[in-house]
């Protein structure tokens, strides 16, 4: 399968998964703001990694991942009804903690001294 076709298939799967999320009855999914942040499908269509993020803390994200794993059969049926694939990949749900990572990097960068701070210190020392 050409790379552009795999990219298009990835976006289609992400769109269908996002559309099916409100239909899941589990409180960890329906009671939270759950989003599919990224989807990666292997080139042989064996596996589909789905990165899930929940507005809130890591615990809510982990609970949503567990709920989505339980609803995998339902989601596979939803995807299969809308997208024709020669092979349906196994869905693997993973927590997407990139937001926490970005916040951590931002805090580290904010704590570093800037060039203006160094110039102020040099002028005070004179």
For residue range 36-61, what is the model confidence (pLDDT) as tens digits?
Answer: 999 999 999 999 999 998 887 788 88
Average pLDDT over residues 18-41: 89
Which has the closest alpha carbon to 64: 102, 100, 101, 36? Answer: 36
Q: Higher confidence at residue 26 or residue 4?
A: 26
Say if pTM beats, i.e. exceeds, 0.85.
no
pLDDT given at position 125: 60
Separation of alpha carbons 94 and 14, rounded Å:
14
Question: 30 to each of 1, 26, 37, 62, 91, how far by Cα in Å?
Answer: 35, 6, 17, 14, 19
Matching CATH number, 3-97, of 3.90.1300.10, 3.40.190.10, 3.30.300.20, 3.60.21.10: 3.30.300.20
pLDDT given at position 1: 45
Q: pLDDT grade, residue 119 (50/70/90)? A: low
Q: What angle do CA 18, 21, 23 make, to 5 degrees?
A: 135
Strands 34-41 and 90-95, how do they pair? unpaired
pLDDT given at position 41: 94
Q: What angle do CA 9, 11, 14 make, to 5 degrees?
A: 110
* Structural tokens at position 72: 């995998």
């Amino acid at each position: 399968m050409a790379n552009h076709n795999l990219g298009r298939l990835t976006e289609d799967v992400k769109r269908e998964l996002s559309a099916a999320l409100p239909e899941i009855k589990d409180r960890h999914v329906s009671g939270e703001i759950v989003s599919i942040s990224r989807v990666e499908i292997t080139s042989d269509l064996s596996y589909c990694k789905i990165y899930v993020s929940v507005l809130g803390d890591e615990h809510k994200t982990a609970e949503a991942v567990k709920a989505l794993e339980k609803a995998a059969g339902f989601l596979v049926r939803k995807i299969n009804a809308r997208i024709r694939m020669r092979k349906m990949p196994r869905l693997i749900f993973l927590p997407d903690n990139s937001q926490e990572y970005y916040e951590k990097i931002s805090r580290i960068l904010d704590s570093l001294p800037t060039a203006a701070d160094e110039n102020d210190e040099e002028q005070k020392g004179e």
